[in-house]
């Protein structure tokens, strides 16, 4: 694969006119060996609270994690959030559910795959399931083949998402782009310029959504991307840019 040219660093907009959508893992937080091992520091919690205020409440986490998992990470902060790849969305403390649960047969098969491929890990989500193989990259080809087979079996209501060391079977009724569009029709996000920062394949629909609304689509690092138009080079660069947006430096 050809290395892509770097994209420009985005100018920092006025927070009072910004609707801010943030991916979490690989964007705000470094990956750990397992999703549960990720740690949120006090400085990041403070920054997110500051951003939420600076943007007049128009901030949302947009993650593949469930909202319950996001609350576990960021608590006691309880931010607006689109979890499970846009299949559950919390605004005003109310959760909108937009997906269907994974059939039991698929859960059983994924648990069996994790049990027979040492180092891989099954994560049951509300509207899907994920096989993580960060500690067992040698199993990627076998797990990928098996998961494509399972995706064909469960049919068109679900789709297979190949992320960063994760294979996820997820209800096909939403994604990060549909979540951003959903929030952008509602207060306090509507009538503001959307900004979305993400780092992975599953963020592409989010980039496309904000591009269509004249917003800022920002990828983290130089991974190949079809849709992002701006770039911040690292998680540290994202946090510095967000501190400026929050008026903190």
Q: Do you find a cis peptide bond into 188, omega within 30 degrees of 0?
A: yes
Of 27, 111, 94, give the one whose Cα is nearest residue 65: 27
Q: Which is nearer to Mg ion, 111 or 164 (CB)?
A: 164
Handedness of CA 46, 217, 204, 164 (dihedral sign): negative
CB of 202 to Mg ion, least distance (A): 7
The closest of 249, 245, 230, 174 to 205, measured between CA atoms, is 174
**Catalytically annotated residue among 11, 14, 23, 25:** 23
Residue span binding Mg ion (CB under 5 A) among the ranges 40-48, 114-122, 141-149, 196-204: 196-204
Count of residues interacting with Mg ion (CB under 5 A): 5
Rule CB under 5 A: say whether 25 interacts with Mg ion: yes
Q: Which residue is nearest to Mg ion (CB)?
A: 26
* Placement of tokens 């491929």 in the chain: 117
Rounded CA separation 161/202 (Å): 7
Residue 135, preceding peptide bond in cis (omega within 30° of 0)? no
H-run or E-run covering 161: strand 158-163
Other beta carbons within 10 angstroms of residue 1's beta carbon come to: 4
Q: Which stretch binds Mg ion (CB under 5 A): 21-29, 46-54, 123-131, 185-193?
A: 21-29
Q: Does 26 bind Mg ion (CB under 5 A)?
A: yes
User: For Mg ion, which stretch binds (CB under 5 A), given 20-28, 101-109, 119-127, 132-140?
Assistant: 20-28
Minimum CB distance to Mg ion, residue 74 (Å): 15
Copy the structure tokens of residue 203. 């963020």
Nearer Cβ to Mg ion, position 144 or 164? 164
What are φ and ψ of residue 223, in 5° steps? -65, 150
By CB under 5 A, is residue 199 in contact with Mg ion? yes
Nearer to Mg ion, 168 or 199 (CB): 199
Q: What share of the chain is helix, strand, coil (3-state, %, to 5)?
A: 35, 25, 40
77-89: b or e for each residue (b if 16 or more CB lie within 10 Å)?
bebbbbbbbbbbb
> What track of x and - describes contact with Mg ion for positions 29 through 68 (by CB under 5 A)?
----------------------------------------
Q: How far is the CB of 238 from Mg ion (least distance, A)?
A: 11
Per the annotation, the verdict on 25 as an active-site residue is no
Question: Binding residue for Mg ion (CB under 5 A) from 21, 23, 79, 130?
Answer: 23
User: Closest CB to Mg ion among 26 and 86?
Assistant: 26
Q: Does 200 bind Mg ion (CB under 5 A)?
A: yes
The set of catalytic residues is 23
Residues that bind Mg ion (CB under 5 A): 23, 25-26, 199-200
């Amino acid at each position: 694969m050809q290395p892509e040219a770097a994209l420009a660093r985005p100018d920092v907009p006025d927070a009072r006119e910004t609707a801010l959508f943030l991916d979490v893992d690989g964007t705000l937080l470094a990956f750990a060996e397992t999703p549960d091992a990720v740690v949120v520091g006090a400085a990041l919690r403070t920054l997110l609270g500051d951003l939420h205020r600076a943007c007049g409440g128009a901030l949302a986490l947009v993650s593949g994690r469930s909202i319950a998992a996001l609350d576990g990470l960021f608590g006691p902060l309880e931010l607006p959030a689109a979890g499970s790849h846009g299949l559950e969305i919390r605004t005003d403390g109310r959760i909108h559910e937009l997906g269907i649960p994974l059939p039991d047969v698929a859960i059983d098969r994924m648990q069996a795959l994790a049990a027979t491929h040492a180092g891989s890990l099954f994560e049951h989500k509300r509207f899907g399931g994920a096989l993580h193989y960060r500690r067992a990259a040698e199993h990627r080809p076998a797990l990928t083949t098996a998961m494509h087979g399972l995706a064909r079996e469960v049919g068109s209501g679900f789709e297979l998402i190949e992320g960063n060391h994760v294979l996820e079977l997820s209800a096909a009724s939403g994604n990060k782009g549909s979540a951003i569009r959903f929030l952008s029709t509602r207060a306090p996000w509507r009538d503001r310029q959307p900004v979305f920062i993400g780092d992975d394949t599953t963020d592409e629909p989010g980039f496309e959504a904000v591009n269509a609304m004249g917003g800022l689509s920002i990828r983290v690092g130089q991974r190949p991307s079809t849709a992002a138009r701006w770039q911040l080079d690292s998680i540290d660069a994202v946090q510095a840019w967000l501190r400026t947006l929050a008026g903190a430096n």
